[in-house]
Chains A and B, each alone.
Chain A
């Protein structure tokens, strides 16, 4: 518990946490405001209607979630890799081990803090995203009556939970990769390469790639409402959401087992 609480304190003060949320919110805001402006100025009714979708509730909820869970996955890979890699690069893991701390507990405690930070980051992004969408709606002169749509609000929590779980799985993947690489930069680089590599490979090997970690993360949230998120790999023949969710859990556990196993056996020389 001490490691978890300490991990949370460390992550709250860490620039990477602010940058990650800032990136998500900034991009989301930019897209929403751009859409609202395009809709306002568009002379084509069809184009205008499409642009308005992002600021028209209740549909805007799904689109905001879709963006968060798609682009958020990439940010999560980078975030997970940055946290795990820095423990090796900065030598802070060495300090903990030399104080007699359990390596397994340290890794799991640190990751548990990431899980909470991901939840907080997604929640903050969602709230700010909705706020920006309301501003966009106001700019575009769209009614916000759908904001309180009961059906949508009722299914949002379950969808958000699935999305959070999927993003956590992607953070775990970055975490494991950086642990194996023992480096922030190498971990981040490899994480990004895997993310886009999987999307690219899905063009040629869709039957295999649909079981891969980023594809199952997208499929797990593709309940028909969000479209599986905005991100690479759209050509993949997606699995059923519930099957995908099981595979997300498998990849998450697998990533953590790899990170813990490697750390337990590693000779810490840095």
Chain B
């Protein structure tokens, strides 16, 4: 799937400003962006709900223009919140959905109800479903025609932790089977554990695209939790190990974030021990968040986010 110079305005507001996406086949592509960056507009354009002002779209290697609706027969989509007839059951809703677009094989509906864990509630009216159940039904709807390309807009919305894990496993399995999964989200942690390739959008433009591995190079962090009164001493002990050490947290303890390779966690620990500082917490890993905030201009909210992490 690809887009070239995709532009879309709502009146005077420019939602997409020349979006260029390149989504390889058989991967989970995480489409990240802050609220209002243009993720949902992109989804709507990719599913023919909106028509671009300029630019082009390619779906499954073929141009997708107005009138090429049959191209969507091989695409499954969950755009925005899942939409159903509230007075029909989950099964009846899937049956109604299956009547539109590509044909659906016999038994597919039961198979999908089983997959998303709604078999037991299939006869219940959707009006009685929780948000998470509607979301799962929406994912089942997107998978109805066994699509080659799956477009999911914030699929983790409303799902409980078990539901998120199950969804993640399902999407990974689909990608492993050669299908392309395009997931838009503003949940960095979710995309970080799910996606192979990431595209970050801000103000209607793609600001970074690449494999997760490549994007996370130089995004390593080691976090240290110490008592508030030890913050300055800790900073001094770690002086020179990283260009910048951020301190966050407003309670008895604070978190110091050191931007170094995760493999250097032992070195950080040794320095602290040599200075007579014993951290109550130390964690290491890679973090997409600083890059995301930098690219999307969300730096102003970075401190708040870090404080949130510290809490």
Contacts and interface: CB of A to CB of B under 8 A. Distances in A.
Q: Which of B51, B70, B75, B96 has the most CB of A within 10 A?
A: B96
Contacts of A5: 99
Given A98-B48, A268-B44, A268-B49, A90 B83 contact: yes
A2 B47 CA distance: 21
A102 B69 contact: yes
A243 interface: no
A157 interface: no
A6 B100 CA distance: 9
Interface in A5-20: 5-6, 9-10, 13-15
A6 B96 contact: yes
Nearest to A91: B83
B97 A96 contact: yes
B86 interface: yes
Contacts of B77: 98-99
A187 to B, nearest CB: 17
B79 A98 contact: yes
B72 A95 contact: no
Contacts, number: 89
Contacts of A106: 100
Interface string B62-101: 0000000111110101011101111110001001110111
B101 A99 contact: yes
Interface in B133-191: 141, 144-145
A-B pairs with the 7 shortest C-beta distances? A91-B83, A99-B101, A100-B72, A6-B99, A96-B100, A101-B100, A98-B47
21 contacts: A2-B99, A3-B99, A9-B96, A10-B88, A10-B96, A13-B87, A14-B87, A92-B83, A92-B84, A95-B83, A97-B48, A97-B69, A98-B49, A99-B72, A99-B77, A99-B97, A100-B48, A100-B75, A101-B69, A106-B100, A269-B50
Interface of B: 44, 47-51, 69-73, 75, 77, 79-81, 83-88, 92, 95-97, 99-102, 141, 144-145
Given A3-B100, A100-B72, 12 more contacts: A6-B100, A13-B88, A86-B85, A91-B81, A94-B49, A94-B83, A97-B48, A98-B47, A99-B73, A99-B100, A100-B101, A267-B51
